[in-house]
Every structure is written in structure tokens, then in C-alpha cells.
Amino acid sequence: MSKKKKIIIISICAIIAIVILGMSIYFATKKVEEVSNEIKLSKLYEKMMQNETYSINFKLNDDNQYTVSRKGDVANVDTYSNGTHTTDIVRDGNTYLLMYSTQKYYTYENNESELNELPNQLNEIAQSQEPTKGEEEINGEKYKYEEYKGVSYFLIDFENELSEEETNTKFYFDGDELKYIRTIMGDDSELIQVDASFTVDNSLFEIPDGFEEG
């Protein structure tokens, strides 16, 4: 093979290598940008609605917490508010309010608003604005967060009047898993722990034995 042909072959190989390297850098950069631009709150909403099966606990403390569970067209919202225990069961287009203090339940016909309330709120928040993103440490662990302005939906135990201008909410993620929510109200804040599962026990949607209609 002549020297000239060798130079041509080497040049072609070099050009191909540069093109491959350039494409690799381009796609790697694009992937990083996609990850950076993704909205984790939207991903959570999409996962919840994929099979419409989830159970998510929002806990301030033992006396103030609630769990939203859903499986298709039935739902259960189990609430402890300052120690008072109640449950809303949504099924057959109706809502049944269970009062554990009296062992009675009350029927609200043609009312299933709680079936979609949580996912609708999450989607509305995610679609409302471009969140501020960052990283913070909670209880010795670092979490990525998305912060949304004017959001106070997840407050559990706060009674003062609020304005949108002084209220922000941060959603903290470990990977794609929502772990904490902090609502910031001026100089005050409320941090709640979040525990999500995507398997649900069917017994949650039945009125327990011992309850009488009120």
C-alpha cells in the first residue's frame, strides 16, 4: 500500500472517530439536560395514575397525619387530626364518613370528590410553574427538592391566615421517591414525612365490622 493511501485511510479513520466522539458528547449532554429539566412531581403523578393504585401517608406526628389510598374507582382517606380518628371511604359514587369515637358512619350520596383530589392537586402544582430546584439535608440525609411558590395544600396543623405571596412548598426526593414536604409560611415552616406504596389492601374500602349507620 502506498504512503498516500495510508494517509487517506488514517485521515478517514480520524474523521470517523471525531464524528463518533462528537455524537457521544451530544447525546450525553442531551441526556443530562433532560434529567435536569424533568419535573419529579409530574413523574410521581404519572406513576400514581398509571394503574390508579397507590397508598401515600403524610405524617407530621402520630396525632396529625393522613393516608390517601386508591384502587381504581374506590378510595380511602384515613385521618388523625389532633388525635381524632376519621376515615372517608369512596365507593359506588358515594362517600362514607367513619367516626371512630362513636363507631358510626354517615353516607354522602353522589360525592366522590376525594377520589381524584390528591392526584389533581399534585398535577395542578406541577403544571402551574417552573419550580426552583436545589439540594438540602434533612435528618442527616441529602435530598433534591422542587420548590413551588404560592402552595399551601399540604399543611396539616397550621391555623393562621396565609397569603400566596408568603407561602412556598418544597418537595424533597430521594431519586424519584417523594420523602418530605416542607411548607414555608414567612418565618415559620411545617415539615411532613411522606411514605408512598403502590400496593393496596382491598379491605381498606369496606366499612369495618362494629360500625352502625348514623
* pLDDT above 50: residue 49: yes
Q: Does residue 154 share a domain with residue 49?
A: yes
Q: Does residue 175 share a domain with residue 157?
A: yes
pLDDT of residue 206: 97
Q: Does residue 50 share a domain with residue 24?
A: no
Q: Does residue 84 share a domain with residue 55?
A: yes
Query: Would you say residue 129 lies in a domain?
Result: yes
Among candidate residues 81, 107, 82, 106, the one with its CA nearest the CA of residue 94: 107
Domain residues for the domain of 5 are 1-37
Q: Does residue 107 share a domain with residue 91?
A: yes
Among candidate residues 3, 25, 207, 179, the one with its CA nearest the CA of residue 104: 207
C-alpha 184/C-alpha 174 separation (Å) is 20
Q: Does residue 31 share a domain with residue 131?
A: no
* pLDDT above 80: residue 9: no
Q: Does residue 28 share a domain with residue 49?
A: no
Q: Does residue 48 share a domain with residue 24?
A: no
Range 174-179 average pLDDT: 97
The total of structural domains in the chain comes to 2
Query: Would you say residue 105 lies in a domain?
Result: yes
Residues 6+ apart with CB under 8 A from 146: 39, 40, 41, 131, 132, 133, 170, 171, 173
- Write the pLDDT tens digit of every residue in 138-168: 999 999 999 999 999 999 987 766 666 789 9
Q: Does residue 9 share a domain with residue 46?
A: no
Query: Would you say residue 214 lies in a domain?
Result: no
pLDDT band at 8 (very low <50, low <70, confident <90, very high): low
- Write the pLDDT tens digit of every residue in 75-119: 999 999 998 999 999 999 999 999 999 999 999 999 999 999 999
Query: Would you say residue 154 lies in a domain?
Result: yes
